[in-house]
Amino acid sequence: MKILSHLPAVHQLKEHQRFSQIVTTLQISENILTEWLNEQIDIVRNKIINNELDHEALNREELIKHIFNQLDKKIHSFSQDNLQGVINATGVILHTNLGRARLSKQAIDQITTTAASYSTLEYNMETGKRGSRHDIVEEYIKQLTGAEAAMVVNNNAAAVYIVLKAIASGGEVIVSRGELVEIGGSFRISEIMEESQADLVDVGTTNKTHISDYEKAITEDTALLMKVHKSNFKIVGFTKEVDTDELVHMSRQHNIPIYEDLGSGTLFNFKKEKIGAEPTVQEKIKAGIDILSFSGDKLLGGPQAGVIVGKKRFVDKLKKHQLARVLRVDKFTLAGLEATLKSYLRGQERYDIPTIHDILASSHSVLEKANTFVEKITSNGTGFICDIDSGQSKVGGGTMPNVEMDTYVVNVKHHLYKSEELAERLRKFNVPIIARVKNEAVILDFRTVSKEELAIVVEAFLHIEHGES
């Protein structure tokens, strides 16, 4: 334990020339640096106590060197942002771990402007008096969906919560057992129901629910009929699900409101493009659903949000509820959403909105990018071995789970690096590149890589080839 006496005190380290070097070259406050030094001293002290340090590191000079080296690492990781932009070369369009939808140029511009200046968030330009943030996108959503009213909350989970709380708290909510889904490992219909103090009445079985099952469950305490999009799974085989039309009919007969959690929700009719069978929000409204909610950053291709549409008398009730303030969206969300919705109103969604654009992209356009990439990284006799294969891209984000889009993937190997190592080097490039690894190759699907990003991906591979990464 004599070694512990070699451990420098923080004030001694602060007099060291390496400390003054750091202070003068980097813009990190001295307080923070002192705290980090203290942290490192503690770590080294524990290492000494637990016999975890090499013997040669046990004199004073070596300990000081060790502490400063650790401090350098800390400073290096501080220089990278924790939330940073990456290139998604997985081909999964709504990659939940990579932030789901990326936004249109128009949305980015409007967010940037809103961030840099004061805005009309709650200001009525006509009267010069206080306005409502609800008014910013409501008309657009009404026009696009045909609904009487609309409002926006933080995300679709929040939408489910406020609807249940405001409309069904203290009453019973009838849901098919086959629709009691869990989304993203943390959001369960049954649990959000409990939070909202509505009583869940589950009817039918996992694979089959009939209209009579709903009918039998109706009591005078029934506050709401609820239908939930199965989103991330599909039951095959002997199944029976009651469709929206039948449920709407029954809800009218019994004068009980009906709410559908549409999950992703789409304004774009993918069925017309022969992609999946996702119903549009417009179709659901036409069918007479009273309240409908869906995500802003799934198939809509906008910022994280929960969009609620439906009959005015219900939406008004939601707007007046205390939770509306708790779950409200900020100006950036509204800016991004307004621009996204305008692309739909102009009929430009397939060009403007990356999510729609990438889902519709032909396998041929992906192949073109793949060819360009392979040519550029192999043309001067590099160590990369590439082959292009046909494959399937997925929409992701728990959306259209059974839809696969034809694509082309590039399998890349390097004679010096194992595939895991290559993938790691790509992740550590100054613009991190995320790719899949399978069968000893790194797999790139350029469906989710823009032309500008493709140039960066090429640069990263050449960087790795030259051993610079």
Ligand X SMILES: *Cc1c(COP(=O)(O)O)cnc(C)c1O
Q: Interface with ligand X by CB under 6 A: which residues? A: 155-157, 160, 183, 187, 228-229, 231, 261, 263-264, 295, 306, 398
> Three-state SS for 275?
coil
Measured from the CB atom, the residue of 8 and 397 that comes closer to ligand X is: 397
Percent helix, strand, coil in the chain (nearest 5)?
50, 15, 35
The answer for residues whose C-beta is within 8 angstroms of residue 458's C-beta and 6 or more apart is 373, 376, 377
State how far the Cα of 395 lies from the Cα of 390, in Å rounded to an integer.
17
Q: Taking the complex as a whole, how short is the minimal distance between the CB of residue 431 and ligand X, in angstroms? A: 26
State which H helix or E strand residue 84 sits in: none
Distance between start and end Cα atoms, the chain: 41
Q: Taking the complex as a whole, how short is the minimal distance between the CB of residue 432 and ligand X, in angstroms? A: 24
Measured from the CB atom, the residue of 297 and 349 that comes closer to ligand X is: 297
State which H helix or E strand residue 332 sits in: helix 331-345
Q: Taking the complex as a whole, how short is the minimal distance between the CB of residue 450 and ligand X, in angstroms? A: 24
Q: Taking the complex as a whole, how short is the minimal distance between the CB of residue 141 and ligand X, in angstroms? A: 16
State how far the Cα of 392 lies from the Cα of 93, in Å rounded to an integer.
12
Closest-by-Cβ residue to ligand X is 263
> Three-state SS for 445?
strand
For the chain, what's the residue count?
A: 469
Q: Taking the complex as a whole, how short is the minimal distance between the CB of residue 236 and ligand X, in angstroms? A: 19
Measured from the CB atom, the residue of 228 and 309 that comes closer to ligand X is: 228
Q: Taking the complex as a whole, how short is the minimal distance between the CB of residue 178 and ligand X, in angstroms? A: 13
State how far the Cα of 460 lies from the Cα of 468, in Å rounded to an integer.
10
Q: Taking the complex as a whole, how short is the minimal distance between the CB of residue 184 and ligand X, in angstroms? A: 7
Amino acid (one-letter) located at 355: T
Measured from the CB atom, the residue of 260 and 352 that comes closer to ligand X is: 260
> Three-state SS for 338?
helix
Measured from the CB atom, the residue of 164 and 426 that comes closer to ligand X is: 164
State how far the Cα of 349 lies from the Cα of 170, in Å rounded to an integer.
41
Kind of pairing between the strands at 182-183 and 187-188: antiparallel
State which H helix or E strand residue 153 sits in: strand 149-153
State how far the Cα of 368 lies from the Cα of 374, in Å rounded to an integer.
10
Residues 87 and 432 sit within 8 Å (Cβ to Cβ) = yes
Measured from the CB atom, the residue of 326 and 385 that comes closer to ligand X is: 326
Measured from the CB atom, the residue of 333 and 419 that comes closer to ligand X is: 333
Residues 394 and 91 sit within 8 Å (Cβ to Cβ) = yes
Measured from the CB atom, the residue of 22 and 198 that comes closer to ligand X is: 198
Measured from the CB atom, the residue of 22 and 183 that comes closer to ligand X is: 183
Q: Taking the complex as a whole, how short is the minimal distance between the CB of residue 15 and ligand X, in angstroms? A: 52
Q: Taking the complex as a whole, how short is the minimal distance between the CB of residue 325 and ligand X, in angstroms? A: 18
